[in-house]
Amino acid sequence: MYKKDSGDKKYFRVLNILNRLNEGPVRLPDLAGEFGVSERSIQRDMERINLTGFHLDTPQKGVYTFASGVSLNSFNLSNEQLSVLVLMREMAGGMGGAIKDAFDKIFDRATSAGTADSPFYSVGPRALNPLTRKFYEDIVFAIENRKKLKVRYAAVNGEKERLLCPVKILASENFFYMLASIDGGAAGQFQKFRVDRVKSLEILPEEFPQPDPKLIKKLLGAATSIWGVNDGTSIKIILKAEGAAADFLQSKEVFPRQKVSKPAPDGSVTVKAVIHHPMEVVPLVLHWMPEITIAEPAGLRDEVKTRIKAYLKKADA
């Protein structure tokens, strides 16, 4: 029997659902009533289980069962350990990159089953602000089931209702971003929406076509910051760095496919790269100045000067 004070409710549900599925088909309304949650919450649990690699069938609406040949008895872990894997897979998918790849290998070794492609792509720092997770599970559900979203979004110029087709969740600098196209907008164009600025969200029954994976891969590219996830104008830059800034740029790929010259006798280096947004380089220059300067383009150099002047004006006020 479900207990409201049983600790981690999600873990408790997944553990029990796995055991029920191992015994035979389960019904969505029955589980929702027993655990005291909505049917959508149970659906999300089923999606977690299915995407981890415990493949499910739906012989009829609202009924789930393990696919033919799937049984917990054939795995090398206890039911408790398997339920932890279901939840850990979601976390690993959110981190992306090497973390997700390592989890997939661990799961494959433990269960001899594969995992589906993750709807997550992590950019930059991994730490996530829990305040941005308000609509996290609904967005994941919409991505995995290609459902349109009606959201009220607080942009810089005020709140506005939008119809979105979400394709990825991006994690960067303590924020979640939703990469989505605007329903009815130009084909193949995507924008980033900060999840903490979403004021309301509704999952619509309408589905949107699966976007071309190659297009999404090209859009994400080798981005090293959230600003690099952009299909706009490319900007060729040349930086001059010395001292600690030169050492930093030689040891870290700050820009996609950056080219760093051999150190000069004084240790200085020249860095060439292509960016898509000025904010890919402006914070770096402000952080390392005066040991780093922008040689080209002049417009980007002027923008840094403008920001420094604005700061000094406020600081002296």
| The pLDDT of residue 136 | 74
Domains and CATH numbers, the chain: 9-115 (1.10.10), 130-211 (2.30.30), 235-316 (3.30.70)
Q: Give counts: helices (H), strands (E), the chain.
A: 10, 13
Beta strand 191-194 with 175-182 is antiparallel
Is residue 121 helix, strand or coil?
strand
Question: Phi/psi at 230 (nearest 5 deg)?
Answer: -160, 130
| The pLDDT of residue 116 | 40
| The pLDDT of residue 291 | 94
Identify the segments of the chain with pLDDT beneath 70. Answer: 1-8, 53, 73-134, 173-174, 221-222, 224, 231-232
* Closest CA relative to residue 51, chosen from 97, 99, 120: 120
Q: What's at 42, amino acid-wise? A: I
How far lies 74's CA from each of 28, 71, 286, 294, in Å? 25, 6, 56, 60
pLDDT > 90 in the chain, percent = 29
Q: How many CB atoms lie within 10 A of CB 253?
A: 12
Question: Phi/psi at 291 (nearest 5 deg)?
Answer: -85, 0
Euclidean distance between CA atoms 145 and 254, whole angstroms: 34
| The pLDDT of residue 162 | 93
Q: Name, in order, each residue with C-beta under 8 angstroms of 61's C-beta and a sequence gap of 6 or more.
A: none
| The pLDDT of residue 200 | 92
| The pLDDT of residue 6 | 40
| The pLDDT of residue 259 | 93
Sheet arrangement for strand 63-66: 26-27, 63-66, 56-60
Q: List, for residues 16-49, the tens digit of each pLDDT value.
A: 888 888 888 899 888 888 888 888 889 888 887 8
How far lies 293's CA from each of 209, 290, 307, in Å? 45, 7, 14
Per-residue b or e along 173-186, where b marks 16 or more CB atoms closer than 10 Å to that residue's CB: eebbbbbbbeeeee
Element (H, E) at 33: helix 28-35
